[in-house]
Structure 1
Amino acid sequence: MEFIVILIGLSIIIWGAISWTIKTISNSNKYIELKPQFDSLKEARKTHESKVEKDKAELSSRIIKWEKKVENDKKEIIKISKQKSMGFPWLAEAYADYFALKDDEIEKYLKNKKHPAYTAAENVKIIKNEKRVLVKENKIISYKINYFEKLFPWLSELIAEDEDEEMPVRIEGDSNNDENEDRVKHYLTPEEYKSLPSVERNQMALDRYLKNRNKSKWAIGRDYEMYVGYLYTQKGYSIEYKGIIDGFEDLGRDIIAKKPNEVCIIQCKCWAQHKKIHEKHIFQLFGTTMEYWIRNFIENKKPKSFEEFSKFLNEKKLRPIFYTSTRLSEKAKEMANALCVEILESKPLGEFPRIKCNINSDGFGQSKIYHLPMDQQYDRTIIGNRSGEFYAYTVKEAENAGFRRAFRHRF
């Protein structure tokens, strides 16, 4: 019995060994049969991976080259766009085309991506066309502004930096431009204007005018010119305001201050501290000083030598003065020194009395009238021509001295 059990066990072991051997031989034959295919697939995978790496490197190189080209194109476009010329509207169109191409790429992407966004792509197309027109118009306007600023440096002072800035523009036919309208109303509510006594409402309007932080460059420049004019009045000069009164026709001279045998041609610039005065402004002041000399100091208006003009400058008979709240560039200082232009820099706007108390003579005697900064004749009113005229800080001060408000108010 034990023998039979041992025999059966041996039979099972032998059968297992034979089955294992047969299976191993079969697998070996399959391996030998499939190995060439496996090797072929392995080689194909290596080839494919190598091609992918090569394509990635090539694509990366193309992207870098494209980005460099785009950056160079942008630099060239910006460089060209800075040319101070208004005669190249085609340049504006090219500029617009360039940025339209970028929008084309966005449009194509939205249409061809895995889940296309056709509506968004169509909206991009519409916006692209509108943007192209606006970009073109914007560049043309920029060229013109840059061109005119190059010719007339003072134009930069009239360009608003903030859309809320008050600009010195009047619309013809506007009912608010009635010649006798009281501009004090612009600084008071209707209730305040009706209820307050004249002294109080005029003073309140003046206070709000002075505290207004949203003045345009033009208004700030006007205040600065009045301040500089007041300072020179205190020094005994008679003052003629050219910038305030003549506007675009001032030829770059804001104030003419006179004493016997001395004329100061003053240009005023009330700019932010981060800005610098450049040499073009010095050249403009020097040129307008020479023009004044030709018109006022040369007999029969016959041109004389530059040496004679230089003599007037050196003897201080004619003094070009640049008065500014900021600083000049080194080149501007160098040119000012060479051209005998006096520099007064870093001179901020200070406090000074704004109310002009003027005495007029008429057929009935003398009229004592005071003018607020928003009144019609304020800029043209010169103080100091008659005894008793003065600048007042407050309305009460003016009225206590016997002066009344001007009847015609419009600025």
Structure 2
Amino acid sequence: MKDYLWIFIIIGAAIIWGIISWIMEIASDSKKYLELKPKLDNLENSIKEHELKLKKDREELELKIKKWNEKVENDKQEIKKIANQKSMGFPWLAEAYADYFALKDGEIEKYLRYKKSPAYKAAENVKIIKEEKKELVRENKIIKYKINYFVKLFPWLLDLIAEDEGEEIPVRVEGNIGNGKSEDRVKNYLTQEEYQSLPSVERNQMALDRYLRNRHKSKWAIGRDYEMYVGYLYDQKGYSIEYKGIIDGFEDLGRDIIARKKDEVCIIQCKCWAQYKEIHEKHIFQLFGTTMEYWIKNFKIHKNSKNFDEFSGFLKEDKLRPVFFTSASLSTKAKEMAHALNIEIVENEPLGEFPRIKCNINNDKSRQKKIYHLPMDQQYDRTVIGNRSGEFYAFTVKEAEDAGFRRAFKHRF
């Protein structure tokens, strides 16, 4: 009986100890729970905050994407509208272009005005500048549209458009202006001290050298040099040269040079273009057309009417020779057209060295006047060399003066 009692006592003690341990464990867990609960609450709040922020960011992103898509679509519609209605006129296009950029400036203005620390004065200045810029952009666009339109109608206008502000602009002044005295254009290539101190030979030679080395010549000036170079080449072959492009300007009808020798007439068109450019068939057609126009006006034949067969006969007999002379190359199509139309081609011929000083002899009553002209002189382009014995082209001023020639008195170009 006693043995059973001890067994019950031991079992009872074990149960009591188990209950006490369980209670102590629960108390410990409760304590840890109380310690961790604030942290868990903070973590839960943080997760909710992040979820809200993520949701807000997602909504803002979706709104931005929507606005961007709307802007892209609006831009597409505006571009399409411009493309479809471009015939409505330059001012409308320029206004649309100006409005587009004014809108961008308006966004900057709004940002300055409504940001957290508003910059009202800066925003007002941007607003004023925006309006001024809009008008300038509009005027600039109108000018560009007009230039592009005119260039499409008259491609040769490109020869007169300067590519940078340092280019020499071709201006021809007829007669005297101001006080009635001719201004020596040599001064444009010399300092005042050089012009006043140097002897005339050295002064004129220095101006000529600087004229030739000038790297900022306009396309017109480069074309003029090239025409003179081609004319000189034909002059050396015994042709009498008449410069049409240099003298007549826009009225040359594509005939830059007319070279004559006996019964032969060459109608020459010159193009001094960069090597990477290519001559297309439209220039060949222009030369062919202007050659025919020259034939109609200048060749007398017995028949009352002139027809294409007769004109073609003149070309085949070399009585009339259209020549296309260029520093660039011709496209395959242009060469095919030139061959079919009996047009002679000289391509990839760069501007070479040649004497620039024209030594001219004028008969004035009983005596002769021996005068030389520099490329910047007034009568240079109109002066023809080779009509009289003793006339020639000189490389240097000293060569001209040693031959008894003096510089022309009229210097204005």
Matched position secondary structure for 1:356: strand
Q: Deviations over 1:192-229 (max 9, x none)?
A: 22332222222222112112222222211111111110
The corresponding residue for 2:285 is 283
* CA drift at 1:393: 0.8
Aligned partners of 2:182, 2:354: CA distance in 1, in Å? 27
Higher Rg: 2
1:248 to 247, 250, 253: 250
Aligned partners of 1:228, 1:314: CA distance in 2, in Å? 23
**Contact 1:241/1:254, CA 8 A, preserved across alignment:** yes
**Contact 1:294/1:303, CA 8 A, preserved across alignment:** no
* CA drift at 1:50: 7.3
The corresponding residue for 2:62 is 58
Aligned partners of 1:41, 1:383: CA distance in 2, in Å? 100
Aligned partners of 1:271, 1:127: CA distance in 2, in Å? 41
Matched position secondary structure for 1:293: helix
1:357 to 359, 362, 377: 359
Aligned partners of 1:351, 1:115: CA distance in 2, in Å? 68
Task: List aligned pairs for 1:359-378, cutoff 5 A.
Answer: 359-378=361-380
Aligned partners of 2:88, 2:247: CA distance in 1, in Å? 29
1:104 to 97, 103, 106: 106
Aligned partners of 1:210, 1:119: CA distance in 2, in Å? 55
* CA drift at 1:46: 9.0
**Contact 1:355/1:371, CA 8 A, preserved across alignment:** yes
Structure 2 unmatched ranges of 5 or more? 1-18
* CA drift at 1:44: 6.7
* CA drift at 1:271: 2.1
The corresponding residue for 1:4 is none
* CA drift at 1:298: 5.5
Aligned partners of 2:73, 2:82: CA distance in 1, in Å? 14
* CA drift at 1:179: 5.2
The corresponding residue for 1:8 is none
The corresponding residue for 2:121 is 119
**Contact 1:295/1:301, CA 8 A, preserved across alignment:** no
Aligned partners of 1:271, 1:381: CA distance in 2, in Å? 26
Aligned partners of 1:67, 1:337: CA distance in 2, in Å? 54
Deviates more, 1:229-238 or 1:206-215: 206-215
The corresponding residue for 1:6 is none
Q: Percent identity?
A: 68
Q: Deviations over 1:293-344 (max 9, x none)?
A: 2211255997633333333333332222221222233443344344333322
* CA drift at 1:128: 1.6
Deviates more, 1:270-279 or 1:239-248: 270-279
Deviates more, 1:64-73 or 1:383-392: 64-73
The corresponding residue for 1:231 is 233
Q: Deviations over 1:136-188 (max 9, x none)?
A: 11121112212221222111010001112111236899967955332222222
Task: List aligned pairs for 1:256-271, cutoff 5 A.
Answer: 256-271=258-273
Aligned partners of 1:241, 1:172: CA distance in 2, in Å? 18
- Return closer, same or farther for 1:38/1:61 CA change in 2, 3 Å cut-off: same
The corresponding residue for 2:316 is 314
Aligned partners of 2:79, 2:333: CA distance in 1, in Å? 27
* CA drift at 1:54: 5.2
Aligned partners of 1:138, 1:16: CA distance in 2, in Å? 93
- Return closer, same or farther for 1:186/1:45 CA change in 2, 3 Å cut-off: closer
- Return closer, same or farther for 1:209/1:54 CA change in 2, 3 Å cut-off: closer
> What is the total number of aligned residue pairs between the two structures?
394
The corresponding residue for 1:216 is 218
Deviates more, 1:291-300 or 1:153-162: 291-300
Aligned partners of 1:253, 1:177: CA distance in 2, in Å? 37
Deviates more, 1:86-95 or 1:40-49: 40-49
Q: TM-score, normalised by structure 1?
A: 0.82
Q: TM-score, normalised by structure 2?
A: 0.81
**Contact 2:173/2:412, CA 8 A, preserved across alignment:** no
- Return closer, same or farther for 1:214/1:373 CA change in 2, 3 Å cut-off: same
- Return closer, same or farther for 1:63/1:276 CA change in 2, 3 Å cut-off: farther
The corresponding residue for 1:155 is 157
Q: Deviations over 1:261-308 (max 9, x none)?
A: 322211112222233333333332222222212211255997633333
- Return closer, same or farther for 1:330/1:179 CA change in 2, 3 Å cut-off: farther
Aligned partners of 2:88, 2:257: CA distance in 1, in Å? 32
Alignment-mate amino acid for residue 308 of structure 2: F
Q: Within the alignment, does 1:329 sit opposite 2:331 as a pair?
A: yes
Aligned partners of 2:89, 2:300: CA distance in 1, in Å? 39
The corresponding residue for 2:3 is none
- Return closer, same or farther for 1:103/1:311 CA change in 2, 3 Å cut-off: farther
